[in-house]
Chains A and B, each alone.
Chain A
């Protein structure tokens, strides 16, 4: 059987709020599956139902072929979970935390100690292994939390916002680790609101908005419709507000977007002639600093599919204190 996870018509409601509204998807064995959406879209509720920490109101979940409908905890021996919070024990050392998590999965003493040492080394935490978890930096905490999630070598790993709130270098290192885990054969279910992270890591992606999956596809297929599009980004200081209306009127063959103050994105079916645009902007009081061609990205797909502007996503990132 090629399906690691199969979800059919999964639904969950909290009082008047429909958190997850009848979603269906499958994750193939060995796949790195991304689950993307803004805050409050239903990502964590979905992951909680998949791992047995929440009970669905309707629908079915099969993990590794096991029907988790009757018993939400039935497939827990197959899964590893890395929650969005680094929820290990602050009073235990890194090594003790890993050994304890291994013991929860029934590994004997010799096996759990050897796995713990191996993972501390693998995650670059060998020297910090004897220090208490409570004294770790955020990046170290995330790494150890991921190590705890895979200590029992699960077939399927759930990663909930793994790089949120950590510095750029640690996030990059974590992404490399996630990719190498997947190459080693672990099926990974990744929720994130960092679109570029999902684009770099995932094979397939589902977009969830307001509890509904609006699109599921391979990353290459998601990008395909944008391949023929020509896109330019213009950076200019303090563009006057009326330009938002004047630009589309002056260049009706072009599509304009204003993702944040001082940035203008232009899209067209054919090549975008930058000269007239720059002249128009400067004539209307905007100082153009840069104009460059953009490659199609998943961010554009996300905006197109969900209707949610990326500056909204960026504000979410900033609120969470994260680095992309």
Chain B
């Protein structure tokens, strides 16, 4: 019970001090709006293109929302040593880091539903398979957050966290099949797509929204879950090695 009191309070503090601040809330609304608008204008095929654009916009909203927030907040707390206060709490490191990442995961999920809400006003989403869509959104959010954690433990300055996040994020927009299929990429780039977690998340979202998946959705979700486990355990090992010297 005591551990869960700590867990809940870390999550609540992060939500209050970082994620629910006006700049982040406005980011969560403006960013998906800008991406949707950009691709909507670019496609030139009217409202009918919304279902095919939606998975990409959802995925990119989650990716950008979670990785930057977590990488920056953790690096910031590490830099001003308030993170030491968390490391001194009598709770297991795994639970501590889950508490620290839970806020970013929820922020990512909330970001995902901003473009969904906008799309619902413009297109018919009745054919969306929500039972696949929601788990895909959650898993993409978890994987992106853990990617942010992985970045946070690899750097020591806030600006490095930003730079390092962009190093991962921008290639993922083009390599992961968000807005055009992986199969259309040059052959030499395709293997790279399959080592990136967002490829599987985007594929599951395409499958859930308009049936345009290249792999079975269950496989996508399972591989995404494996990426989550891998990123979390590698990050924990790095924390133990680099932060508990």
Contact = CB atoms under 8 A, between A and B. Distances in A.
Contacts of B3: 106
Nearest to A54: B245
Interface string A99-119: 011011111100000000000
Contact of B90 (A55, A77, A87): A77
Nearest to A89: B82
Interface in B1-58: 1-3, 5-6, 8-10, 13, 17
Contacts of A148: 85
A200 to B, nearest CB: 28
Contacts of A54: 244-245
A108 to B, nearest CB: 7
B87 interface: yes
B84 A106 contact: no
Given A76-B90, A77-B90, A106-B1, A87 B85 contact: yes
The listed residue with most A CB atoms (<10 A of its CB), out of B5, B8, B10, B86, is: B5
Interface string B63-89: 000000000000000001110111111
Contacts of A101: 85
Nearest to B80: A87
Contact of B244 (A14, A55, A87): A55
Contacts of B87: 52-53, 73
Prevailing SS type, chain B contact patch: helix
Contact of B84 (A79, A87, A89, A105): A87
A64 to B, nearest CB: 12
B196 interface: no
B173 interface: no
Given A55-B244, A92-B17, A104-B6, A76 B89 contact: yes
Nearest to B10: A104
Contacts of A73: 87, 90, 93, 244
Contacts of A105: 2, 6, 89-90
Interface in A55-99: 55, 72-73, 76-77, 79, 81, 83, 85, 87-92
A13 to B, nearest CB: 11
The listed residue with most B CB atoms (<10 A of its CB), out of A55, A72, A89, A103, is: A103
A72 B82 contact: no
Interface string B219-232: 00000000000000
Interface string A14-50: 1000000000000000000000000000000000100
A51 interface: yes
A73 B243 CA distance: 13
A240 B85 CA distance: 53
A48 B3 CA distance: 23
Interface in B174-200: none
A56 B65 CA distance: 38
A92 B6 contact: no
B85 A106 contact: no
Contacts of B89: 76, 104-105
A103 B244 contact: no
B80 A55 contact: no
A85 B9 contact: no
B244 A52 contact: yes
Contacts of B85: 87-88, 101, 104, 148
A81 B3 CA distance: 19
Contacts of A88: 82, 85
A155 to B, nearest CB: 13
Given A55-B244, A83-B81, A87-B80, A100 B13 contact: yes
Contacts of A87: 80-82, 84-85
Nearest to A12: B245
B27 to A, nearest CB: 18
A73 B2 CA distance: 16
A72 B244 contact: yes
Nearest to B2: A106
A106 B6 contact: yes
B175 to A, nearest CB: 37
Contacts of B6: 103-106
Given A85-B81, A100-B9, A105-B2, A53 B244 contact: yes
Contacts of B86: 104
A61 B161 CA distance: 35
Interface of A: 14, 48, 51-55, 72-73, 76-77, 79, 81, 83, 85, 87-92, 100-101, 103-108, 148
Interface of B: 1-3, 5-6, 8-10, 13, 17, 80-82, 84-91, 93, 244-245
Given A85-B81, A100-B13, 19 more contacts: A52-B87, A52-B244, A53-B84, A53-B87, A53-B245, A54-B245, A55-B245, A72-B244, A73-B90, A73-B93, A73-B244, A89-B13, A92-B17, A101-B85, A104-B86, A104-B88, A104-B89, A105-B6, A106-B90
21 contacts: A14-B245, A52-B244, A55-B244, A73-B244, A83-B81, A87-B80, A89-B82, A90-B80, A91-B17, A100-B13, A101-B85, A103-B8, A104-B10, A104-B89, A104-B91, A105-B6, A105-B90, A106-B1, A106-B3, A106-B5, A107-B5
